[in-house]
Structure 1
Amino acid sequence: MDLSLTVLGCATPYPSTDNPCSGYLVSHDDTRVWMDAGTGTLGPLQRHTRLEDLDAIWISHLHADHSADLLTAYYALLFADVSRDPVPLYGPPGIADRLAGFLTNGPVRSPIEDAFEVIELRDGLQAAVGSMRMTTAAVEHAIPAFGVRIEAGGVSLTYSGDTAPCPRLTELANGTDLLLCESESTEKTPDMVHHTPEDAGDTAAAAQARRLVITHVGRFLAPQEAVTRASARFSGSVDYAEPGTTFRVG
Structure 2
Amino acid sequence: MLLTILGGRGAWPDAGQACSGYLVEHDGFRLLVDPGYATVPRLLERVTPDQVDAVFITHGHPDHCADLNPLLRARTFCDDPSSPLPVHSLPGALDAVLALDRPGMLASAYVAHEFTAGSRLDIGPFHVQTRLLPHSVPNAGVRLTAGERVLVYTGDTGPSPDVVDLARDADLFLAEATYADQVPEDSRRYLTSARQAGRQAREADARHLLLTHLQPGTDMTAAQAAARTEYGGELGIAVSGLVVDLS
Shift of 1:184: 0.4
- 1:218/1:124 CA distance change after superposition, 3 Å: same
Q: Aligned partners of 1:240 and 1:96: how far apart in 2?
A: 28
TM-score by length of structure 2 reads 0.93
Over the matched positions of the two proteins, sequence identity in percent amounts to: 31
Counterpart of 1:90 in structure 2 is 88
Per the TM alignment, residue 74 of structure 1 is displaced from its structure 2 partner at its CA by 2.0
1:113 shift after superposition:
3.8
Residue 36 of structure 1 is matched in structure 2 by: 34
Distance between the aligned counterparts of 2:144 and 2:153, measured in 1? 8
Kindly provide the CA deviation profile for residues 47-77 of structure 1, in whole angstroms up to 9, marking residues without a partner as x: 2222212121011111111111111122112
Structure 1's consecutive aligned runs of 4 or more residues displaced over 6 angstroms after TM superposition are: none
Match of 1:151 in 2: 145
Matched, 1:167 2:161: yes
Take 1:34 and 1:62, find their aligned partners in 2: how far apart are those partners?
15
Count the aligned residue pairs.
244
Query: Please, which moves more after superposition, 234-243 or 48-57?
Result: 48-57
Does 1:18 pair with 2:16? yes
Whole-Å Cα distance in 2 between the matches of residues 174 and 77 of structure 1? 37
Cα deviation per residue 1:7-33 (whole Å; 9 max; x = unaligned)? 001122211232111101001121110
Say which is worse superposed, 199-208 or 181-190, in terms of deviation.
181-190
Q: 3-state SS of the aligned residue for 2:169?
A: coil
SS at match of 1:229: helix
For residues 138 and 79 of structure 1, what CA distance do their matches in structure 2 show? Answer: 35
Describe the shift of the 1:133–1:218 C-alpha distance in structure 2 as closer, same or farther (beyond 3 A): same
Q: Equivalent of 1:238, from 213, 235, 238?
A: 235
Q: Answer yes or no: is the 8 Å Cα contact 1:51–1:82 preserved in 2.
A: no
- What is the aligned partner in structure 1 of residue 65 from structure 2? 67
* C-alpha deviation, 1:221, in angstroms: 1.9
Residue 169 and residue 110 in structure 1: after superposition, are their counterparts in 2 closer, same or farther (change >3 A)? same
- Match of residue 51 from structure 1: 49
Residue identity opposite 2:127 in structure 1: R
Secondary structure of the 1:102 match is coil
Unaligned residue ranges in structure 1 (runs of 5+): none
Shift of 1:93: 1.2
Q: Deviations over 1:59-104 (max 9, x none)?
A: 1111111111111122112122452111110112114533342222
Shift of 1:111: 4.6
Query: Which ranges in structure 2 are unaligned for 5 or more consecutive residues?
Result: none
**Residue aligning to 1:223:** 220
